[in-house]
Chains A and B, each alone.
Chain A
Amino acid sequence: MPTNVIMPQMGESVAEGTITKWYKKLGERVDRDEALFEISTDKVDAEIPSPAAGVLTLILVKENETVAVNTVVAVIDGEGAAAVVPAPEEAVVPKPGAAPPAVPPTPSPAAGLSAASAVARPAAFPESAETGELRTSPLVRRIAREHHVDLGQVKGSGLGGRVSKKDILDFIERRSAGGAGAAAPEAPQVTAAPVIFTGPTQVVPMTPMRRQIAEHMVTSKRTSAHVYTVVEAEMTRVVATRERCKEEFERHHGIKLTFTPFFIRACVEAIRELPIINSSVDGTNIIYKRDVNIGIAVALENGLIVPVIKRADEKNFLGIARAVQDLADRARAKRLSVEDVQGGTFTITNPGGFGGLFGLPIIPQPQVAILGVGAIEKRPVVRDDAIAIRHMVYLSISYDHRVIDGAVAEQFMGKIKKILENWDEAVL
């Protein structure tokens, strides 16, 4: 059985990747999980392991070529038989039972197929630069030109996601019927209304990555009922613990003691009491996840990546600190693997990185909550009717009111605040 090797999705908002190196030549044997090729994306560089053992019978994407996520880049044949060009539809249509796509289908009420195919962008074989990664037809391209339609926004109903005449005419009709909100469009539309501005302008098309971010953000806003709450926590004990232990911690374990593991530990403990925070919505079902996989949003030069600490609930403070250090090192060295950025069940972001007091982040689908950690700074606070100087932090949470009610969110935040303010866990 020939196995298709696809360009993996590295991170929430990565739409394409460049193959920088093939480790194997055509006709060479490769073992399962052996490094097959190296990719570079907007966010990470990574070695991609082979999905199967066999002979590399077909290389479809050469070194330094950039292709869309989910594009078939090579074929491995288990029996070493002649190369078989994979049917294009097999390459992109997510098969039931196959590995879930990097970004899980948005559990929108419209749900089902449409959401799944909105994620798996039509992109099978690398096509010419002129047509890009989209599968359309000559007729569709003409109609698109006349109606100024960005074909990337049109969901294709044909084989392999091909955009047909009907698809684009439906799209235009929906668009003219009143923009994004009208008739619950299946694919998120980034532009709701044409921008009307009479002064001089410069029109820059979105990069595929920008478009992906835009789509994910808008999809999340439309999917989840976002509600926000902010608490303030005193960090005196945490700061003191860190000051007291940081030198010894680094000496003993060879890693820096940062604030991040403190917040992760607090979240894990709070989730233990309120497992709904660690859930997903699937139609009218709520899916509780046993593992607590905490994603940590890390700003990069041109975007954002969210490496995930898997099973954070099974790790002690040191384990978490090590995992954070390891992911941070690899993110900086662009050595994250696909696995590292998948499977998050709850996310922590850090709007305080540039001094922000607090932020109100958008929930990464299909999670149901995200914690924002503001800047830790000394502030005057009232203690025993006197003004005191304390290390303080604003903690915000964006939660999905479909499944989390205000009281639950407040309890969750109260629990985190309590853990941080009364920090008593040994860190060494």
Chain B
Amino acid sequence: MAEAPKYDVVVIGSGPGGYVAAIRSGQLGMKTAIVEKDEKFGGTCLHVGCIPTKSLLLNAEVYDYFKNAKEFGIICKEFSLDWQAILARKSKVVTKLSKGVEFLLKKNHVETVRGFAKLAGPGKISVTDSKGATQEITAKNIVLATGSEARLLPGLEPDGKALLTNKEILSLPEIPKSLVIIGAGAVGVEFASIFHRFGSKVTVLEMLPRAVPLEDEEISAELEKSFRHQGIAIVTQAKIGKVLKTAKGISVEYTVGDGKPQTLEADTCLVAVGRAPNTANLSLEKTRVKLERGFVKVNGYMQTDEPGVYAIGDIVAASPLLAHVASMEGIVAVTHAAGKPGEPINYRQIPNCTYGEPEIGSVGLTERQAREAGHKVKIGKFPFAAVSKAAILGAREGFVKVVSDERYGEILGVHIIGPRATETIAEAVMAMRLEGTVDDIAHTTHAHPTLAEALGEAAHAAVDWAIHI
């Protein structure tokens, strides 16, 4: 007779999807292990994604305050950047949080296994460690949480100097004088915001007709306006041609529409054209797991077509590549594995956040999507320029846009660009999750003076009239 599987749940990958899944699995009383190939737990998010970039964005913001100190009545005669100190602070934050993850895994009795995991038959995983030693572990349920890597341009490997991905750019020896960013999605926009404020000459090239192409069109327009105002060059509909390493750095050729090819020379180039799922080396081809262009197909409870195998996070087909999505998917998966009641994942109620300057926070349908879905759309919009707290912060740009359905006042989407947009969006996500109406947000008392007032006002505008405009 076969032995009982050693673990109830084995999670492969310890990013924000995997480690959250493992913790919840432990909390649910399941015998759990987590496999990690890298030295530290936390995955892309913690080591080369969310956390380090947001740390650098804060440096940029602080630096901005110094630059504008006079506006606040503070005279700063001499200040300068210390890039190494900036990186050191970033590393300190990452190390602290990484230890936190390790502590939480331990606290919830999650066993840790080091090495690279492959599926080795039903309920079986083989793990090869850095020394090449292989062990086999057995599990009733397997959660694939292997994440993604930056997509590259064909034939161009990042070299850490002239050609970078989100990884290499975090350990540049110095701040580049000029930087070309290919891709104006969240990653491109955030690094543009960081290095522009650190003094680099930044040009962003986007293939699609607008920056942050997944956001509402008005958000894209506001961001492009703000970037131009700040002095960040942004070129949309740019088709990338030859990218060549030169003596000085790199040259990037691009064409806009039917125009003539143009060439940009820069110290370095960041490739931020999307992410590719890490599913190739898991031996999935021997299972019933179905892939769609490398991404794993799952149902609402994150189950793959192979019994007992779940997939979460960046590797999931049609799932937004966001840390918080991965975490929620992890909870959904292990709750299901434990046989506990739970809701399937709902991608309509997920906040999208871009942490550049200005910040963008959005949830639900854009205005265009809502109209295309046949809704009788009613928009409520309110600019931060009319919000007291924004004036105090010295912020002049941005707005809150509420997309609602006129019939019942259903909130279909909320789009915020401006100061602290990534925080304020939380209220809108909750309202949508609870199926609140625009009236509910309008009749929610918002503290004064706060930036959240803008959301209340936009909701008022969606019902009838905003007050402060």
A and B interact physically: yes
Q: Which residue of A lies closest to B408 (CB)?
A: A142
Q: Which residue of A lies closest to B433 (CB)?
A: A137
Pick the interface stretch among A10-18, A158-166, A191-199, A414-422: A158-166
B interface residue count range (under 10 / 10 to 19 / 20 to 34 / 35 or more):
10 to 19
Hey, which chain A residues are within 8 Å of B409, CB to CB? 139, 142
**Which of B341, B408, B439 contacts A89 (CB under 8 A)?**
B341
- Determine whether the beta carbon of A137 is less than 8 Å from that of B341: no
- Determine whether the beta carbon of A158 is less than 8 Å from that of B343: yes
Hey, which chain A residues are within 8 Å of B436, CB to CB? 137-139
- Determine whether the beta carbon of A142 is less than 8 Å from that of B437: yes
A interface residues, Cβ below 8 angstroms from B: 89, 93, 96, 137-140, 142-143, 146, 158-159, 164-165
Give the interface SS of chain B, mostly helix, strand, loop or mixed: loop
Hey, which chain B residues are within 8 Å of A93, CB to CB? 341
Assuming A139-B408, A142-B409, A143-B408, is B435 touching A165 (CB within 8 A)?
yes
B interface residues, Cβ below 8 angstroms from A: 339, 341, 343, 408-410, 434-437, 439-440
Assuming A143-B408, A165-B410, is B339 touching A138 (CB within 8 A)?
no
Q: How far is the CA of A96 from the CA of B340 in the complex (A)?
A: 9
Q: How far is the CA of A139 from the CA of B440 in the complex (A)?
A: 10
Q: How far is the CA of A146 from the CA of B435 in the complex (A)?
A: 17
Assuming A93-B341, A96-B339, is B434 touching A137 (CB within 8 A)?
yes
Q: How far is the CA of A89 from the CA of B343 in the complex (A)?
A: 11
CB distance from B409 to the nearest CB of A (A): 7
Q: How far is the CA of A129 from the CA of B409 in the complex (A)?
A: 24
CB distance from B403 to the nearest CB of A (A): 15
Hey, which chain B residues are within 8 Å of A159, CB to CB? 341, 343
- Determine whether the beta carbon of A138 is less than 8 Å from that of B437: yes
**Which of B339, B341, B435, B440 contacts A164 (CB under 8 A)?**
B435
Task: With A96-B339, A137-B436, A139-B409 given, name 8 new contacts (CB 8 A).
Answer: A93-B341, A137-B434, A138-B434, A138-B436, A138-B437, A139-B436, A142-B408, A143-B408
CB distance from A369 to the nearest CB of B (A): 34
- Determine whether the beta carbon of A138 is less than 8 Å from that of B439: yes
- Determine whether the beta carbon of B343 is less than 8 Å from that of A139: no
Q: How far is the CA of A164 from the CA of B341 in the complex (A)?
A: 16
Hey, which chain A residues are within 8 Å of B439, CB to CB? 138
Specify which of A138, A140, A164, A165 lies most central, judged by the most chain B CB atoms within 10 Å of its CB: A138
Q: Which residue of B lies closest to A93 (CB)?
A: B341
Assuming A143-B408, A165-B410, is B341 touching A138 (CB within 8 A)?
no
- Determine whether the beta carbon of B410 is less than 8 Å from that of A139: yes
- Determine whether the beta carbon of A139 is less than 8 Å from that of B435: yes
Can you name 11 A-B pairs with beta carbons within 8 Å?
Answer: A96-B339, A138-B436, A138-B439, A139-B409, A139-B436, A140-B435, A142-B437, A143-B408, A158-B343, A159-B343, A165-B435
CB distance from B301 to the nearest CB of A (A): 13
Q: Which residue of A lies closest to B439 (CB)?
A: A138
Give the interface SS of chain A, mostly helix, strand, loop or mixed: helix
Specify which of A93, A139, A140 lies most central, judged by the most chain B CB atoms within 10 Å of its CB: A139
Hey, which chain B residues are within 8 Å of A142, CB to CB? 408-409, 437
CB distance from A145 to the nearest CB of B (A): 10
Hey, which chain B residues are within 8 Å of A164, CB to CB? 435
- Determine whether the beta carbon of B440 is less than 8 Å from that of A138: yes
Assuming A143-B408, A165-B410, is B435 touching A138 (CB within 8 A)?
yes
CB distance from B22 to the nearest CB of A (A): 21
CB distance from B257 to the nearest CB of A (A): 43
CB distance from B277 to the nearest CB of A (A): 30
CB distance from A70 to the nearest CB of B (A): 15
Specify which of B408, B434, B435, B437 lies most central, judged by the most chain A CB atoms within 10 Å of its CB: B435
- Determine whether the beta carbon of A139 is less than 8 Å from that of B339: no
Q: How far is the CA of A261 from the CA of B107 in the complex (A)?
A: 61
CB distance from B325 to the nearest CB of A (A): 19
- Determine whether the beta carbon of A139 is less than 8 Å from that of B437: yes
Q: How far is the CA of A143 from the CA of B409 in the complex (A)?
A: 10
* A-B interface, 3 closest residue pairs, ranked by CB to CB distance from nearest: A137-B435, A139-B435, A142-B408
Specify which of B343, B439, B440 lies most central, judged by the most chain A CB atoms within 10 Å of its CB: B343
Hey, which chain A residues are within 8 Å of B339, CB to CB? 96
Specify which of B339, B341, B436 lies most central, judged by the most chain A CB atoms within 10 Å of its CB: B341
Q: How far is the CA of A89 from the CA of B439 in the complex (A)?
A: 27
Hey, which chain A residues are within 8 Å of B440, CB to CB? 138
Hey, which chain B residues are within 8 Å of A96, CB to CB? 339
Hey, which chain A residues are within 8 Å of B341, CB to CB? 89, 93, 159
Q: Which residue of B lies closest to A113 (CB)?
A: B341
Q: How far is the CA of A158 from the CA of B408 in the complex (A)?
A: 20
Q: How far is the CA of A96 from the CA of B434 in the complex (A)?
A: 28
Hey, which chain A residues are within 8 Å of B435, CB to CB? 137-140, 164-165
Q: How far is the CA of A158 from the CA of B439 in the complex (A)?
A: 22
Q: How far is the CA of A413 from the CA of B341 in the complex (A)?
A: 45
Q: How far is the CA of A142 from the CA of B343 in the complex (A)?
A: 23
Q: How far is the CA of A61 from the CA of B410 in the complex (A)?
A: 33
Hey, which chain B residues are within 8 Å of A143, CB to CB? 408
CB distance from A5 to the nearest CB of B (A): 21
Hey, which chain B residues are within 8 Å of A89, CB to CB? 341
Q: Which residue of B lies closest to A137 (CB)?
A: B435
Q: How far is the CA of A362 from the CA of B439 in the complex (A)?
A: 47
CB distance from A239 to the nearest CB of B (A): 56
CB distance from A90 to the nearest CB of B (A): 9
CB distance from A189 to the nearest CB of B (A): 23
Hey, which chain B residues are within 8 Å of A139, CB to CB? 408-410, 435-437
Hey, which chain B residues are within 8 Å of A138, CB to CB? 434-437, 439-440
CB distance from B373 to the nearest CB of A (A): 14
Q: How far is the CA of A267 from the CA of B408 in the complex (A)?
A: 58
Q: How far is the CA of A96 from the CA of B339 in the complex (A)?
A: 9
CB distance from B195 to the nearest CB of A (A): 44
Q: Which residue of A lies closest to B440 (CB)?
A: A138
Hey, which chain B residues are within 8 Å of A140, CB to CB? 435
Hey, which chain A residues are within 8 Å of B343, CB to CB? 158-159
Q: How far is the CA of A165 from the CA of B433 in the complex (A)?
A: 11
Q: How far is the CA of A288 from the CA of B259 in the complex (A)?
A: 83
Q: How far is the CA of A164 from the CA of B439 in the complex (A)?
A: 18
Q: How far is the CA of A315 from the CA of B345 in the complex (A)?
A: 55
CB distance from B386 to the nearest CB of A (A): 27
Q: How far is the CA of A165 from the CA of B346 in the complex (A)?
A: 13
CB distance from A124 to the nearest CB of B (A): 13
Hey, which chain B residues are within 8 Å of A137, CB to CB? 434-436
CB distance from B428 to the nearest CB of A (A): 14
CB distance from A372 to the nearest CB of B (A): 40
CB distance from B308 to the nearest CB of A (A): 19
CB distance from B336 to the nearest CB of A (A): 13
Q: How far is the CA of A93 from the CA of B342 in the complex (A)?
A: 11
Q: How far is the CA of A93 from the CA of B408 in the complex (A)?
A: 30
Q: How far is the CA of A93 from the CA of B439 in the complex (A)?
A: 31
Hey, which chain A residues are within 8 Å of B410, CB to CB? 139, 165
Q: How far is the CA of A140 from the CA of B434 in the complex (A)?
A: 10
